[in-house]
Structures are given as C-alpha cells and as structure tokens.
C-alpha cells in the first residue's frame, strides 16, 4: 500500500497527487513513469512522474480524469492509499546541451513535459516552453514552467489567455522569427504531436515525442504497448516512451488506443453511477 | 489386494487410473480447474501399479530426482502425508509440478512400464499427495537452520526464484525476493490459467515461504527500481540470484501485426489471468470480447494451448490452433492437446500465417495463411514443412494471438553490462553452480535456458541455492 501525502486540484479534473514511494523517489529521472493500481480490482495505469522529493521519499503525479481509473484516482485524498505503485519505468529522457530547446505541452502534456524541461534547463539549454490548453481555466503549471524557461508562452484554443491559437502556430511563429531551434520536445494529444512533427520536419529539427499507448505490465513483458517507429515494432514501456517524432506512425498509435472504447465507456458509466449513489442528497 | 501381498502380475493387471475431470462442454464455459484429481481409492489403486523397481528408471527422468518409488509406496500404504513429505525433500512445489510437468517427456517416459503398458501416473499421484496435505490442513513447515548473517536477494518470483529462496531460507540465510509485478509467482500466476493451475495453490506455497521468513517485495523492477550493483554495494546483499524468466514476446514480423485484435500470448494471458479480465467489469481490465467471434492462436506450445482454451472460455465461436508443422511436432503437453480437442478447439496443422488483414477501422478481419506439406527430413531428422505453392487463403478471424515464444527481457543486461549474455541474450552460467560471469551473482530458469519448463527452472534455483550456500559459508563444493 502506498500512502497519498497530498492531493490538490490544479484545474477542473486535473489533480496533483503526492505519494510516498521512497525507492522510486530516489531513482527516478526525467521522462520516466510509474504504473499504478488504485485498488485490488483496478487496471494498471501508466502515469509520468512529474517530480519527486528524494529526502521526503515522495513522488508527484499529475492526473487528468479520463475514464474510470484516472477518475477513481482523482477521487482520492491525502491520507488515502493506493494499492500498487511500480517504477520508475521507461527509458529516461535523452538530455544533452542541444542549444535552444523548445518544450511543448498540450493540455495535460505540460505535466509530462515539465520534468524534462527542468532537465533540459539544468543541462545548460536555452529553454523555451509553449504550454497549450483549450482555455484559460485549463492551463496548468504556468508558474513552474516560467521558472525553468528563458521564454515561456501560453496558447489557448479559444484565445481566453495568452496566444490565441494552437501550439504549432506558436512554434511556427518562433521558427519564422529566425530563431535557431536545435531541439523540440512535444507531449500532448496524438494529433498535436503529429502536427508538431510536421512543423519541424522540413527544417530537420530534432523532435522527440512521448507516446501514450495502452499498457499492461510496463516492463516489456506483454508487447501491448507496441508502437511502430521507423516501420519497426518498439515497446513504448522499455524502448520509450520517448521516440523520434519524425519516425513515429501516429495513425497506428491512435487506432490502437481505440481498442477498448466500448469497455472504457462501460466502466466509466458504472463508476459515475457509483459516485452518484454515494453523493449526499 | 494390498501393498504388502500384491504380486507383480496383479500389479500389471491394474489399468492406469484416470483422474476425474469436469465435463468438456461444461468446462469450456468456465474457468474452474479441468482436472478434479484422484480420490484416495483411485490414488491407492494407481500406486499399486508401480513395480517398486530396484533401480527406478523413473527417477532419472525427473529433473529434480524425486524419490518416486518411495513416495508411491507410501501412497499405496495409505500414508498420504508421508508421501507428500517425501516428495517435498526434492521439490517445493509438488502441487504445481504434478499439474504442469510434461510428464510424458520426463518421469513417465522413463518409467519401466511405458514400453509395454501405460506408465505409472506419477504426476497425478504427486498432485494427489500434495493436494491431500494442503487440503487436510497438514502442511508442516520445514525447520530452518540458525541465522547465518548472510543476506541474499532473489530477483523474480517465478518457479526458479521461489525454489532458490525456499532452499536458502531453510539454510538460515536472510532472503529477500524482488518481483516486478504486483503479484508473486511469475508465469504460474500471469501465464498458466486458473483452469489448469488454480492460483490459490501457488499463493498457498508462497504464504508458506513467508512463514519461513522469506521477505517478498512486489512492484520492484530490477534494473529500474534498483540495480544489481546497488543491491550488492548499497543494500549489502552478499549474493544475488536472477530468475527473471523469458518475458519478451516475439512477434511474427508479418504485415498487419499491429492491427486491433492482434495480441501476444503474454498480453492476452496476462490480461485474463493476472488482471482477471474474464471478470470484467468487476475487474477493471478489459480484454477483447470473444463472444461469438473467431479466434486463431498461432503456435503449438503450452502457451498456445492455454491461450486458445482461454479464448474458448471467453465465448469464442471458433477457436483455432494454427501451427506450421504437424501435430506430432507440437511441443505442448499431450494432456493439454487432448483436453483442448475435447473442448472443441479446432486444429489447423501445416499452416503458416503470411499477413493479417483488417478493415477501415483497423480491426483484424482475417489471417492470410499458406498451407505447408512435410518435405524431406532435415539434418535433425525432422521432416521440414515446405510451402504448397498457390495454397494461400484467408482464414476469417476477429482476434489473433501470437504464441511463438519469448526472448529475454533486456533490463538486467542494459543495467548490468558485466553479466555475460549469449547471442540470444540469455544469461551465461556455469551449469554446475549457476554462477554468472559476475562475482556472487547467479542465474537460472528461463533467463538462462530460454522458455523451458517449471521443473527445470526449479531445479536451476536449487542448484544455485546450494552453490550460493557453499560459496558464502566458505566450503568447497
Ligand atoms: C507513458 C505514459 C505516461 C502517461 N502519463 C500520464 C500522466 O502523467 N497523467 C495523466 O493523466 N495521464 C497520463 N497518461 C495517460 C493515462 O495513462 C491514461 O489517461 C489512462 O490510462 C486512462 O485510463 P482510464 O481508465 O482513466 O481511462 P480509459 O477508460 O482507459 O480511457 C478513457 C479515455 O482515455 C483514452 N485513453 C485510454 N488510454 C489512454 C492512454 N494511454 N493515453 C491517452 N489516452 C488514453 C481513451 O481513448 C478514452 O477516450 C500516460 C500514458 C502513458 C502511456
Ligand atoms: C502460458 C504458459 C504456459 C506454460 N505451461 C507450462 C506447463 O504446462 N508446464 C511447464 O513445465 N512449463 C510451462 N510453461 C513454462 C514455464 O512456466 C516456465 O518455464 C517457468 O515459469 C520459468 O520459470 P522462471 O522462474 O525462470 O521464470 P518466470 O516464471 O517467467 O518468472 C520470472 C519472474 O520474474 C519477474 N521479473 C522479470 N523481470 C524482472 C525484473 N527486472 N525485476 C524483478 N522481477 C522481474 C517476472 O515478473 C516473473 O514474475 C508455460 C509458460 C507459459 C508462458
Ligand atoms: S517433478 Fe515433474 S518430472 Fe519430477 S516426478 Fe514430478 S511430475 Fe515427474
Ligand atoms: S520406473 Fe515406473 S514402475 Fe519402476 S519404480 Fe518408477 S514408477 Fe514404479
Ligand atoms: S506494457 Fe507490456 S510490454 Fe509494454
């Protein structure tokens, strides 16, 4: 059992959860994730380690309620426990001094990009962050991103805050301004990552994306997380989750993530029903 | 007829006693155990068939040399607990091995009766004795020697790791087992299905080891959560046994393998067994809804049989085994093949997949296959399958499971480069001690042999335990 030390909402449906996991806190590197199992009958769900405090022995997760598992996790409060937490999993982000590095986070992707942005900064890069959200209320980690960035931008789809438009438009504007960009990290919904890859491809800017296939074990044993990179099968949980954006078959990833739509809906509905039953009248 | 007065002729006249089992039609819709085991009467009757050979050939066929003649004699005499304890002198998981050993290739193959009669049902008897001991609440904890002050880490809680840990703890060492998954038992838990090996049996054995003092740490991935070097240098372990299994599924490398509905056997079985998706939605993990669908499993080993029988139980209308050689070459246990046929599994032999075909939404709709025929014998004397030109056809299937074996997980290799591995990434050991090229690090089981058997993995764990003990206690081996 793993104890939740603190749990606070950052935005509607997005929660920051700090969990006691001393071994993981000590070992984890930017880009790595954990698999968690909320209760005894729960799925194993992959979540990026957004931060850690090795002295306190805690790790921080930032979780968006999508379906049953993530919503159940987000219903937990400080003092509650989680059945299983395993990690750190995945290969750490490849960090070096590239020069100018742009870290792009779409929606919750900001949380996944954040630790890598920190590591890029520590490695001596000039760090530009572009943090995209649908609208102002959904912007997360604004202060944190600012603190690690030499330039920090916010974009919103509806123009309610920061730059009005998509992260790709902001990226294109930066490129057009003549800025020499040496490295791009893009994390967010699949269409966004695919779009970023298309923006940087003609300029041959090294671009890395963090893929989010459905996982089971997270240790390379099942092959369920396989993705097609450069027409080869790769297991995202051990070979990734970060891959060269220009070689990834995004269509296949997005198709494969639809495998359990029917079952996911069924679980989510049952969970919503259960929550309503427990609400005070 | 009793154990004292029976003549050899009378023994030979007794037919081999079959275990009771669930009706095939009923069981192909449930996940309860297929075999129901022997009653005491049946067990004693079967035990009387053993000739009590002076130089028992059966023992040579058992990789851990169980004193088969002796335990069978005890069963014949009605001393079932004595029989269980006799077996446990050599095998810590008899209830498991009695169920899953490929006996026809091991102890029962070398039994003297095999040539002219049917062999003694050694596996069934082993299972009976172990079940009797557990079910009557008579499991006796073995004695543990005084503490030696030595600390040993075992990585992986499959049969290799469990048997190693069990021996070492009894010798007085402090043993900690690190397991990557949330559940202990390795393939016994996530691979072999409930209907063949009830999980309660595996867990009961592990509980026994906990009582002996073995510490189990689940959710700990060696190479990620902690490395071999950290265990040795920072956490003060005196020796390490690596029993991480062969857990890297191979794919066929043909087009369409990433379509929706194509699984590796590991994924399909893990979802169903470990994550209990056969109880979806009570358990959250989903699996392809097989109800009324056609499912093809590619391969001919135990894993393939487990996968195809699982698909049938999940409601598949047609469940096929597609295998590139003929039935005689299938590596699966005979009993599994027999049970699968009884359950209505359809066997398509001499057939090779070329491509998976999908619809616009990328769901699998069929497997393009090629028929084969047996050609001239190759160097090994086996007749090689050769393709029949122009025989391609599409087998309409909604789900496919690829079950063509496993390679080695690279995590340990990547993080501990000074452990020598073979070209196939298996760990290289001295087979007499299971010592690796790295000081005080031992390895055994599937990570050394490639996918093999439970009993071989257990044997390796024991060999390593003995060698570790000798090394740490400063005796010459
Ligand atoms: C390496 C990795 C790191 C991740 N890090 C984080 C993180 O830090 N924070 C976070 O909130 N989420 C993260 N995710 C995504 C998270 O694992 C999924 O959102 C979660 O598994 C969904 O489970 P569920 O039961 O709540 O929803 P489900 O009922 O399984 O799905 C609900 C919806 O989410 C979509 N979905 C399902 N699986 C995924 C997936 N793997 N990725 C994206 N969408 C999915 C479905 O298409 C569906 O529309 C990560 C995924 C991976 C692979
Ligand atoms: C579906 C299936 C059916 C089978 N049927 C039979 C049968 O009927 N009869 C038979 O004799 N054999 C059978 N086998 C083969 C047999 O199960 C294996 O040979 C045996 O389990 C190998 O034991 P092991 O201890 O080496 O590895 P495993 O049982 O694979 O156990 C290895 C353990 O190590 C853990 N691990 C892996 N990496 C790490 C890491 N980095 N850190 C920590 N832990 C880690 C794994 O999670 C696992 O729990 C079958 C195999 C399968 C897959
Ligand atoms: S352990 Fe396996 S091979 Fe040995 S006697 Fe038992 S069933 Fe036979
Ligand atoms: S070889 Fe067969 S008959 Fe002889 S002791 Fe062994 S089991 Fe009994
Ligand atoms: S999640 Fe199973 S291999 Fe990656």
Q: pLDDT digit string (tens) for B362-409?
A: 999 999 999 999 888 877 777 888 999 999 999 999 999 999 999 998
- For A98, A172, A266, B237, B365, the CA distances from A178, given in Å and listed in that order, are 17, 10, 50, 57, 50
How many angstroms separate the CA of residue B219 from the nearest CA in chain A? 5
Distance CA A177, CA B405 (A): 54
**Predicted pLDDT at A278:** 64
Distance CA B235, CA B404 (A): 38
Do B410 and A238 make contact, defined as CB atoms within 8 angstroms?
yes
Instruction: Summarize pLDDT for B219-253 with one digit per residue, the tens.
Output: 999 999 999 999 999 999 999 999 999 989 999 99
Question: Do the strands B364-377 and B393-396 form a parallel or antiparallel pair, or are they unpaired?
Answer: antiparallel
Looking at the predicted structure, is the pLDDT value of residue B208 above 50?
yes
Show Cβ contacts of residue B230 under 8 Å, excluding neighbours closer than 6 positions: none
Ligand 2 mutation target, pool B154, B241, B245, most atoms within 8 A of CB: B245
Confidence of residue B477 (pLDDT cuts 50, 70, 90): very low
- For A14, A89, A228, B225, B265, the CA distances from A239, given in Å and listed in that order, are 28, 10, 12, 16, 20
Reported as half-sphere exposure (CB side, CA atoms, 13 A), residue B74 has a value of: 18
Q: Among A122, A123, A140, which residue's Cα sits nearest to residue A131?
A: A140
Question: What's the gap in Å between B26 CA and the centre of ligand 4?
Answer: 35
Is the CB–ligand 4 distance for residue B57 below 6 Å?
Answer: yes
Q: Among A135, A137, A140, which residue's Cα sits nearest to residue A156?
A: A135
Distance CA B346, CA B333 (A): 17
Please report, rounded to a whole number, the percentage of residues in chain B having pLDDT higher than 90.
Answer: 81
Residue pointed to by tokens 């193959």: B109
* Sign of the alpha-carbon dihedral angle for B293, B296, B300, B306: negative
Question: Do the strands B318-322 and B346-348 form a parallel or antiparallel pair, or are they unpaired?
Answer: parallel
Confidence of residue B100 (pLDDT cuts 50, 70, 90): very high
Selected for mutation to probe chain B from A52, A70, A220, A238 (highest B CB count within 10 Å) is: A220
Q: What is the mean pLDDT of chain B?
A: 93
Distance CA B268, CA B402 (A): 9
**Predicted pLDDT at B363:** 95
Do B258 and A267 make contact, defined as CB atoms within 8 angstroms?
no
Residue B348: in which H helix or E strand, if any? strand B346-348
In DSSP terms, which residues pair with A19 in a beta bridge? A4, A59
In this structure, what are the phi and psi dihedrals at residue B398, rounded to the nearest 5 degrees? -100, -20
Average pLDDT of the segment spanning A193-222: 94
Q: Which residues of B touch A263 (CB under 8 A)?
A: 280-281, 286, 289
Query: Do residues A89 and A46 lie in contact, with contact meaning Cβ atoms separated by under 8 Å?
Result: yes
Query: Do residues B220 and A34 lie in contact, with contact meaning Cβ atoms separated by under 8 Å?
Result: no
Selected for mutation to probe chain A from B219, B245, B262, B409 (highest A CB count within 10 Å) is: B219
Query: Do residues B339 and B196 lie in contact, with contact meaning Cβ atoms separated by under 8 Å?
Result: no
Distance CA B307, CA B295 (A): 10
Question: Do the strands B151-155 and B174-178 form a parallel or antiparallel pair, or are they unpaired?
Answer: parallel
| Tokens linked to B133 | 């001991």
Annotate B243-259 with b (16+ C-beta within 10 A) or e (fewer). bbbbbbbbebeeebbbb
Question: What's the gap in Å between A226 CA and the centre of ligand 5?
Answer: 7
Choose the closest CB to A89 out of B224, B276, B289. Answer: B224
Instruction: Summarize pLDDT for A223-255 with one digit per residue, the tens.
Output: 999 999 999 999 999 999 999 999 999 999 999
Residue B91: in which H helix or E strand, if any? none
Looking at the predicted structure, is the pLDDT value of residue B190 above 90?
yes
Average pLDDT of the segment spanning B426-434: 95
Question: Do the strands B441-443 and B346-348 form a parallel or antiparallel pair, or are they unpaired?
Answer: unpaired
Looking at the predicted structure, is the pLDDT value of residue A190 above 60?
yes
The CB density around residue B229, as the number of other CB atoms within 10 Å, is: 14
Average pLDDT of the segment spanning B268-288: 92
Do A270 and B281 make contact, defined as CB atoms within 8 angstroms?
yes
Distance CA B398, CA B204 (A): 38
Q: Among A192, A173, A177, A171, which residue's Cα sits nearest to residue A129?
A: A171
In this prediction, the answer to ipTM > 0.95 reads: no
Q: Atom of ligand 2 at shortest distance to CA of B181?
A: 47
How many angstroms separate the CA of residue B247 from the nearest CA in chain A? 5
**Predicted pLDDT at B476:** 46
Distance CA B160, CA B313 (A): 30
Average pLDDT of the segment spanning B32-50: 94
Nearest CA in chain A to B406: A221
**Predicted pLDDT at B475:** 57
Instruction: Summarize pLDDT for A5-50 with one digit per residue, the tens.
Output: 999 998 888 899 999 999 999 999 988 999 999 999 999 999 999 9
Looking at the predicted structure, is the pLDDT value of residue B86 above 80?
yes
Query: Do residues B18 and B49 lie in contact, with contact meaning Cβ atoms separated by under 8 Å?
Result: no
Question: What's the gap in Å between B52 CA and the centre of ligand 4?
Answer: 6
């Amino acid at each position: 059992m793993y104890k939740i030390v603190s749990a606070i909402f950052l935005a509607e449906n997005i929660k920051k959860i700090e969990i006691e996991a001393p071994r993981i806190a000590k070992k984890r590197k930017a880009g790595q994730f954990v698999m968690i199992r909320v209760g005894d009958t729960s799925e194993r769900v992959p979540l990026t380690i957004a931060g850690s405090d090795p002295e306190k022995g805690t790790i921080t997760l930032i979780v968006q309620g999508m379906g049953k598992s993530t919503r159940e996790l987000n219903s937990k409060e400080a003092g509650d426990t989680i059945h299983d937490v395993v990690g750190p999993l995945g290969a750490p982000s490849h960090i070096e001094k590239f020069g100018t590095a742009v870290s792009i986070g779409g929606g919750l992707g900001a949380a996944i990009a954040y630790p890598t942005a920190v590591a890029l900064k520590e490695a001596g890069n000039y760090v530009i962050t572009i943090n995209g959200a649908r609208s102002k209320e959904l912007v997360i980690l604004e202060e944190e991103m600012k603190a690690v960035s030499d330039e920090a931008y916010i974009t919103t789809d509806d123009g309610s805050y920061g730059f009005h438009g998509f992260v790709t438009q902001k990226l294109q504007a930066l490129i057009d301004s003549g800025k020499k960009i040496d490295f791009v990290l893009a994390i967010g919904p699949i269409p966004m990552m695919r779009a970023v890859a298309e923006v940087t491809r003609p300029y041959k800017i090294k671009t890395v994306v963090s893929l989010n296939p459905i996982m089971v074990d997270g240790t390379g044993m099942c092959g369920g997380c396989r993705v097609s990179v450069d027409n080869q099968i790769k297991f995202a949980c051990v070979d990734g989750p970060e891959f060269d954006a220009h070689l990834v078959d995004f269509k296949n990833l997005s198709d494969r993530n639809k495998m359990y739509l029917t079952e996911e809906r069924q679980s989510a509905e049952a969970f919503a029903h259960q929550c309503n039953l427990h609400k005070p009248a | 007829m009793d154990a004292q007065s029976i003549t050899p002729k009378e023994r030979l006249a007794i037919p081999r006693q079959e275990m009771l089992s669930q009706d095939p039609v009923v069981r192909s819709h449930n996940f309860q155990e297929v075999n129901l085991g022997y009653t005491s009467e049946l067990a004693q009757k079967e035990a009387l068939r053993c000739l009590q050979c002076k130089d028992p050939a059966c023992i040579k066929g058992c990789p851990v040399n169980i004193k088969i003649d002796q335990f069978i004699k005890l069963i014949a005499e009605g001393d079932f607990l004595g029989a269980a304890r006799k077996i446990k002198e050599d095998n810590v998981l008899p209830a498991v091995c009695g169920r899953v050993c490929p006996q026809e290739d091991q102890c029962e193959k070398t039994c003297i009766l095999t040539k002219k009669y049917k062999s003694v049902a050694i596996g069934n008897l082993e299972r009976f004795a172990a079940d009797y001991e557990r079910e009557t609440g008579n499991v006796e904890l073995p004695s543990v020697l005084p503490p030696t002050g030595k600390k040993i880490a075992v990585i992986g809680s499959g049969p290799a790791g469990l048997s190693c840990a069990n021996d070492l703890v009894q010798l007085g060492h402090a043993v900690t087992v690190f397991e990557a998954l949330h559940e202990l038992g390795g393939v016994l838990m996530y691979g072999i299905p409930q209907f063949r090996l009830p999980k309660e049996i595996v867990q009961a054995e592990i509980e026994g080891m906990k009582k002996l003092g073995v510490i189990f740490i689940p959710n700990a991935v060696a190479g990620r959560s902690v490395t071999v070097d950290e265990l040795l240098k920072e956490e003060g372990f005196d020796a390490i046994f690596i029993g991480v299994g062969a857990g890297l599924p191979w794919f066929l490398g043909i087009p369409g393998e990433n379509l929706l509905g194509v699984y590796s056997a590991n994924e399909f079985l893990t979802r169903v067994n470990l994550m209990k998706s056969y109880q979806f939605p009570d358990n959250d993990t989903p699996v392809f809804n097989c109800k009324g669908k056609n499912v093809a499993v590619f391969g001919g080993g135990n894993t393939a049989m487990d996968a195809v029988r699982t698909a049938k139980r999940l409601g598949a209308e047609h469940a096929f085994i597609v295998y590139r050689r003929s039935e005689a070459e299938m590596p699966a246990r005979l009993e599994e093949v027999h049970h699968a046929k009884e359950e209505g599994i359809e066997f398509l032999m001499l057939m090779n997949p070329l491509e998976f075909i999908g619809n616009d939404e990328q769901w699998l709709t069929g497997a393009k296959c090629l028929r084969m025929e047996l050609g001239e014998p190759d160097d090994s004397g086996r007749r090689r399958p050769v393709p029949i030109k122009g025989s391609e056809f599409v087998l309409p299937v909604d789900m496919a499971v690829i079950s063509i074996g496993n390679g080695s997980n690279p995590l340990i290799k990547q993080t501990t480069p000074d452990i020598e591995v073979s070209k196939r990434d298996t760990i290289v050991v001295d087979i007499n001690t299971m010592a690796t090229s790295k000081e005080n690090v031992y390895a055994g089981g599937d990570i050394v042999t490639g996918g093999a058997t439970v009993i071989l993995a257990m044997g390796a764990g024991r060999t390593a335990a003995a060698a570790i003990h000798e090394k740490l206690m400063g005796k010459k081996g």
